[in-house]
Structure 1
Amino acid sequence: MSRCFNKVILIGIVASEPEFKKSPGGVSLLTFRLMTSESFKTADGRIVDRTDWFSIVTWRNLADVSKKIVRKGARIFVEGVLRSRDVQLRSGEKVQKIEVVAENILLLDGKKNNNKKDVSNYYAVGDDIELPDFLNDLEKI
Protein backbone atom coordinates (compact mmCIF):
# COMPACT_ATOMS: atom_id res chain seq x y z
CA MET A 1 0.00 0.00 0.00
CA SER A 2 1.34 3.43 -0.91
CA ARG A 3 1.77 6.18 1.64
CA CYS A 4 -0.91 8.84 1.69
CA PHE A 5 -1.23 12.24 3.35
CA ASN A 6 -4.29 14.18 4.51
CA LYS A 7 -3.69 17.57 6.14
CA VAL A 8 -5.58 20.86 5.94
CA ILE A 9 -4.43 24.26 7.21
CA LEU A 10 -6.84 27.19 6.98
CA ILE A 11 -6.90 30.78 8.21
CA GLY A 12 -10.31 32.35 7.91
CA ILE A 13 -13.31 34.02 9.49
CA VAL A 14 -15.88 32.05 11.50
CA ALA A 15 -19.03 32.55 9.40
CA SER A 16 -21.65 31.01 11.70
CA GLU A 17 -22.27 30.75 15.42
CA PRO A 18 -20.76 27.45 16.53
CA GLU A 19 -23.22 24.67 17.41
CA PHE A 20 -22.32 22.54 20.44
CA LYS A 21 -23.86 19.11 21.03
CA LYS A 22 -23.24 16.00 23.12
CA SER A 23 -23.66 12.55 21.62
CA PRO A 24 -25.83 10.01 23.46
CA GLY A 25 -22.55 8.58 24.77
CA GLY A 26 -21.47 11.98 26.13
CA VAL A 27 -18.93 12.89 23.43
CA SER A 28 -18.68 16.64 22.78
CA LEU A 29 -19.12 17.96 19.22
CA LEU A 30 -18.76 21.55 17.98
CA THR A 31 -19.46 22.53 14.36
CA PHE A 32 -19.24 25.83 12.50
CA ARG A 33 -18.63 27.31 9.03
CA LEU A 34 -15.35 28.97 8.11
CA MET A 35 -14.90 31.45 5.26
CA THR A 36 -11.60 32.00 3.47
CA SER A 37 -10.95 34.65 0.86
CA GLU A 38 -8.20 35.29 -1.64
CA SER A 39 -7.58 37.66 -4.55
CA PHE A 40 -5.79 36.80 -7.75
CA LYS A 41 -5.08 38.33 -11.13
CA THR A 42 -6.64 36.76 -14.23
CA ALA A 43 -4.83 36.37 -17.56
CA ASP A 44 -6.47 39.60 -18.78
CA GLY A 45 -5.23 41.54 -15.72
CA ARG A 46 -8.47 41.74 -13.72
CA ILE A 47 -8.31 41.27 -9.95
CA VAL A 48 -10.82 38.63 -8.87
CA ASP A 49 -11.86 37.72 -5.34
CA ARG A 50 -12.60 34.11 -4.50
CA THR A 51 -14.39 33.04 -1.32
CA ASP A 52 -14.57 29.44 -0.12
CA TRP A 53 -16.71 28.00 2.66
CA PHE A 54 -15.73 25.07 4.86
CA SER A 55 -17.63 22.98 7.40
CA ILE A 56 -15.46 22.57 10.50
CA VAL A 57 -16.03 19.77 13.02
CA THR A 58 -14.36 19.46 16.42
CA TRP A 59 -14.68 16.54 18.84
CA ARG A 60 -14.08 15.74 22.52
CA ASN A 61 -11.72 18.02 24.46
CA LEU A 62 -11.12 20.28 21.46
CA ALA A 63 -14.89 20.85 21.18
CA ASP A 64 -15.15 21.63 24.90
CA VAL A 65 -12.36 24.21 24.75
CA SER A 66 -13.35 25.65 21.35
CA LYS A 67 -16.91 26.38 22.46
CA LYS A 68 -15.43 28.90 24.92
CA ILE A 69 -13.32 30.82 22.39
CA VAL A 70 -14.73 30.38 18.86
CA ARG A 71 -17.32 33.03 17.93
CA LYS A 72 -18.88 34.22 14.68
CA GLY A 73 -16.66 36.87 13.10
CA ALA A 74 -13.45 35.67 14.77
CA ARG A 75 -10.32 35.15 12.67
CA ILE A 76 -8.91 31.70 13.40
CA PHE A 77 -6.28 29.18 12.35
CA VAL A 78 -7.55 25.62 11.85
CA GLU A 79 -5.36 22.56 11.34
CA GLY A 80 -6.99 19.24 10.64
CA VAL A 81 -7.88 16.57 8.12
CA LEU A 82 -10.54 16.19 5.44
CA ARG A 83 -13.23 13.60 6.07
CA SER A 84 -16.11 12.57 3.85
CA ARG A 85 -19.39 11.03 4.86
CA ASP A 86 -22.62 10.13 3.12
CA VAL A 87 -25.70 12.18 3.99
CA GLN A 88 -29.27 11.99 2.80
CA LEU A 89 -30.96 15.23 1.74
CA ARG A 90 -34.60 15.99 2.53
CA SER A 91 -35.35 15.15 -1.09
CA GLY A 92 -34.08 11.63 -0.44
CA GLU A 93 -30.98 12.11 -2.58
CA LYS A 94 -27.75 10.75 -1.09
CA VAL A 95 -24.68 12.96 -1.39
CA GLN A 96 -21.16 12.96 -0.04
CA LYS A 97 -20.29 15.75 2.40
CA ILE A 98 -16.68 16.85 2.88
CA GLU A 99 -15.74 18.33 6.29
CA VAL A 100 -12.58 19.52 8.00
CA VAL A 101 -12.12 17.61 11.24
CA ALA A 102 -10.06 20.03 13.32
CA GLU A 103 -7.07 18.87 15.35
CA ASN A 104 -5.91 22.35 16.40
CA ILE A 105 -7.62 25.74 16.55
CA LEU A 106 -5.93 29.04 17.30
CA LEU A 107 -7.70 32.38 17.73
CA LEU A 108 -5.77 34.99 15.72
CA ASP A 109 -7.50 38.24 16.57
CA GLY A 110 -8.54 40.19 19.63
CA LYS A 111 -12.28 39.64 19.25
CA LYS A 112 -14.11 39.42 22.52
CA ASN A 113 -16.46 36.63 23.44
CA ASN A 114 -19.92 37.01 24.99
CA ASN A 115 -18.38 37.44 28.45
CA LYS A 116 -16.42 40.46 27.16
CA LYS A 117 -13.10 38.87 28.11
CA ASP A 118 -10.19 39.31 25.74
CA VAL A 119 -9.48 35.92 24.19
CA SER A 120 -6.73 37.00 21.80
CA ASN A 121 -4.16 34.72 23.42
CA TYR A 122 -6.34 31.62 23.70
CA TYR A 123 -5.97 28.50 21.65
CA ALA A 124 -7.59 25.12 21.65
CA VAL A 125 -5.44 22.10 21.00
CA GLY A 126 -6.54 18.53 20.40
CA ASP A 127 -5.45 15.78 22.75
CA ASP A 128 -1.70 15.08 22.65
CA ILE A 129 -1.07 17.30 19.62
CA GLU A 130 1.73 19.86 19.68
CA LEU A 131 1.38 23.18 17.87
CA PRO A 132 3.79 23.60 14.95
CA ASP A 133 6.65 26.06 15.58
CA PHE A 134 5.52 28.40 12.79
CA LEU A 135 2.35 29.30 14.73
CA ASN A 136 4.41 31.76 16.77
CA ASP A 137 4.68 33.92 13.64
CA LEU A 138 0.95 33.95 12.80
CA GLU A 139 0.27 37.10 14.85
CA LYS A 140 2.37 39.00 12.30
CA ILE A 141 0.06 37.98 9.44
Structure 2
Amino acid sequence: MTFHTIIIVGNVGREPEMRYTPAGQPVTSFSVASNRSYTNQQGEKVDETIWFRVSAFGKLAETCNQFLHKGSRVLVEGRLVPDKNGSPRIWTRQDGTAGASYEVTATTVRFLSARGEGGAEAGGDLTIPDVGDMGEDIPF
Protein backbone atom coordinates (compact mmCIF):
# COMPACT_ATOMS: atom_id res chain seq x y z
CA MET A 1 0.00 0.00 0.00
CA THR A 2 1.22 3.49 -0.84
CA PHE A 3 0.28 6.54 1.17
CA HIS A 4 1.13 10.19 0.68
CA THR A 5 0.11 13.45 2.28
CA ILE A 6 0.57 17.07 1.33
CA ILE A 7 0.48 20.12 3.59
CA ILE A 8 -0.27 23.51 2.04
CA VAL A 9 -0.25 26.91 3.71
CA GLY A 10 -1.68 29.77 1.71
CA ASN A 11 -4.60 32.07 1.07
CA VAL A 12 -8.05 31.16 -0.23
CA GLY A 13 -8.28 32.53 -3.76
CA ARG A 14 -12.06 32.59 -4.24
CA GLU A 15 -15.19 32.10 -2.16
CA PRO A 16 -15.78 28.40 -1.37
CA GLU A 17 -18.57 26.66 -3.31
CA MET A 18 -20.58 23.87 -1.68
CA ARG A 19 -22.56 21.29 -3.63
CA TYR A 20 -23.83 17.77 -2.93
CA THR A 21 -22.94 14.38 -4.40
CA PRO A 22 -25.80 12.27 -5.82
CA ALA A 23 -25.73 10.38 -2.50
CA GLY A 24 -26.31 13.65 -0.62
CA GLN A 25 -22.80 14.12 0.79
CA PRO A 26 -21.66 17.78 0.95
CA VAL A 27 -18.56 18.76 -1.04
CA THR A 28 -16.93 22.19 -0.76
CA SER A 29 -14.39 23.35 -3.34
CA PHE A 30 -12.02 26.29 -2.97
CA SER A 31 -8.65 27.37 -4.34
CA VAL A 32 -5.51 28.05 -2.30
CA ALA A 33 -2.53 30.10 -3.49
CA SER A 34 0.77 29.22 -1.85
CA ASN A 35 3.51 31.83 -2.32
CA ARG A 36 7.28 31.57 -2.10
CA SER A 37 9.87 34.32 -2.47
CA TYR A 38 13.56 33.75 -3.00
CA THR A 39 16.63 35.37 -4.51
CA ASN A 40 18.03 33.69 -7.63
CA GLN A 41 21.73 33.34 -8.53
CA GLN A 42 21.67 36.73 -10.30
CA GLY A 43 20.54 38.39 -7.05
CA GLU A 44 17.01 39.08 -8.30
CA LYS A 45 13.99 38.55 -6.06
CA VAL A 46 11.65 35.91 -7.51
CA ASP A 47 8.03 35.53 -6.40
CA GLU A 48 6.45 32.15 -7.13
CA THR A 49 2.79 31.21 -6.68
CA ILE A 50 1.38 27.69 -6.90
CA TRP A 51 -2.39 27.20 -7.08
CA PHE A 52 -4.18 24.23 -5.54
CA ARG A 53 -7.82 23.25 -6.05
CA VAL A 54 -9.08 21.80 -2.77
CA SER A 55 -12.14 19.63 -2.16
CA ALA A 56 -13.47 18.85 1.31
CA PHE A 57 -16.20 16.30 2.06
CA GLY A 58 -18.84 15.74 4.76
CA LYS A 59 -18.74 17.78 7.97
CA LEU A 60 -15.39 19.29 6.91
CA ALA A 61 -17.08 20.60 3.73
CA GLU A 62 -19.85 22.24 5.74
CA THR A 63 -17.38 23.89 8.12
CA CYS A 64 -15.13 25.14 5.29
CA ASN A 65 -18.13 26.58 3.46
CA GLN A 66 -19.27 28.37 6.61
CA PHE A 67 -15.96 29.81 7.83
CA LEU A 68 -13.60 30.21 4.85
CA HIS A 69 -13.70 33.30 2.66
CA LYS A 70 -11.59 34.75 -0.12
CA GLY A 71 -8.30 35.93 1.42
CA SER A 72 -8.47 33.67 4.49
CA ARG A 73 -5.12 32.19 5.54
CA VAL A 74 -5.43 28.41 5.73
CA LEU A 75 -3.43 25.22 6.25
CA VAL A 76 -4.73 22.23 4.31
CA GLU A 77 -3.56 18.68 4.85
CA GLY A 78 -4.69 16.07 2.35
CA ARG A 79 -3.76 13.97 -0.64
CA LEU A 80 -2.95 14.90 -4.22
CA VAL A 81 -5.47 13.79 -6.83
CA PRO A 82 -3.80 13.48 -10.26
CA ASP A 83 -5.56 13.91 -13.60
CA LYS A 84 -6.18 10.82 -15.75
CA ASN A 85 -2.51 10.85 -16.85
CA GLY A 86 -1.19 11.02 -13.27
CA SER A 87 -0.13 14.67 -13.62
CA PRO A 88 -1.30 18.09 -12.46
CA ARG A 89 -3.78 19.90 -14.71
CA ILE A 90 -1.81 21.85 -17.38
CA TRP A 91 -3.17 24.75 -19.44
CA THR A 92 -2.00 27.78 -21.45
CA ARG A 93 -2.60 31.21 -19.93
CA GLN A 94 -3.88 34.15 -21.96
CA ASP A 95 -0.31 35.50 -22.19
CA GLY A 96 0.86 32.20 -23.75
CA THR A 97 2.77 30.86 -20.72
CA ALA A 98 2.10 27.41 -19.32
CA GLY A 99 0.16 27.03 -16.08
CA ALA A 100 -0.49 24.09 -13.79
CA SER A 101 -2.79 23.48 -10.86
CA TYR A 102 -3.00 20.65 -8.42
CA GLU A 103 -6.09 18.89 -7.04
CA VAL A 104 -6.10 18.12 -3.31
CA THR A 105 -8.66 16.20 -1.27
CA ALA A 106 -8.54 17.72 2.22
CA THR A 107 -8.44 15.56 5.35
CA THR A 108 -7.70 18.43 7.79
CA VAL A 109 -8.17 22.17 7.47
CA ARG A 110 -6.80 24.73 9.94
CA PHE A 111 -8.09 28.27 9.78
CA LEU A 112 -5.04 30.47 10.37
CA SER A 113 -6.60 33.93 9.97
CA ALA A 114 -7.68 35.64 13.16
CA ARG A 115 -11.36 36.54 13.47
CA GLY A 116 -12.12 39.34 11.00
CA GLU A 117 -8.71 39.07 9.31
CA GLY A 118 -8.66 38.18 5.62
CA GLY A 119 -12.39 37.73 5.63
CA ALA A 120 -12.25 34.75 7.99
CA GLU A 121 -15.02 34.33 10.52
CA ALA A 122 -13.44 31.43 12.40
CA GLY A 123 -11.06 31.65 15.32
CA GLY A 124 -7.36 31.01 14.86
CA ASP A 125 -6.68 27.27 15.20
CA LEU A 126 -9.64 25.04 14.39
CA THR A 127 -8.87 21.57 13.01
CA ILE A 128 -11.52 19.30 11.61
CA PRO A 129 -10.33 15.86 10.55
CA ASP A 130 -12.80 14.18 8.21
CA VAL A 131 -11.18 11.03 6.87
CA GLY A 132 -13.99 8.76 8.05
CA ASP A 133 -16.57 10.27 5.69
CA MET A 134 -14.53 9.44 2.61
CA GLY A 135 -14.85 5.67 2.93
CA GLU A 136 -11.13 5.02 2.55
CA ASP A 137 -8.88 2.73 4.54
CA ILE A 138 -6.45 4.85 6.53
CA PRO A 139 -3.17 3.10 7.41
CA PHE A 140 -3.02 4.43 11.00
State the TM-score, normalized to the length of structure 1. Answer: 0.72
Residue-by-residue CA offset, 1:55-91 (whole Å, 9 max, x unaligned): 00101111012111111110011000001244xxxxx
* Whole-angstrom CA distance in 2 between matches of 1:53 and 1:35: 5
Moved beyond 6 Å, runs of 4+: none
With over 3 angstroms needed to count, the CA separation of the structure-2 counterparts of 1:5 and 1:29, relative to structure 1, is: same
* Whole-angstrom CA distance in 1 between matches of 2:125 and 2:21: 26
Residue aligning to 1:73: 71
Residue aligning to 1:49: 47
> Mind listing any 5+ residue stretches in structure 1 that lack a counterpart?
87-96, 130-141
* Whole-angstrom CA distance in 2 between matches of 1:117 and 1:105: 13
- In the alignment, residue 108 of structure 2 is paired with which amino acid? N
State the TM-score, normalized to the length of structure 2. Answer: 0.72
Cα contact 2:52–2:103 (8 A) shared by 1: yes
Residue-by-residue CA offset, 1:28-48 (whole Å, 9 max, x unaligned): 000011001111111111111
Residue aligning to 1:104: 108
- In the alignment, residue 47 of structure 2 is paired with which amino acid? D
Deviation at 1:121, TM superposition (A): 3.3
* Whole-angstrom CA distance in 2 between matches of 1:80 and 1:53: 15
User: SS of 1:67's equivalent?
Assistant: helix
Number of matched pairs: 116
Is 1:7 the equivalent of 2:5? yes
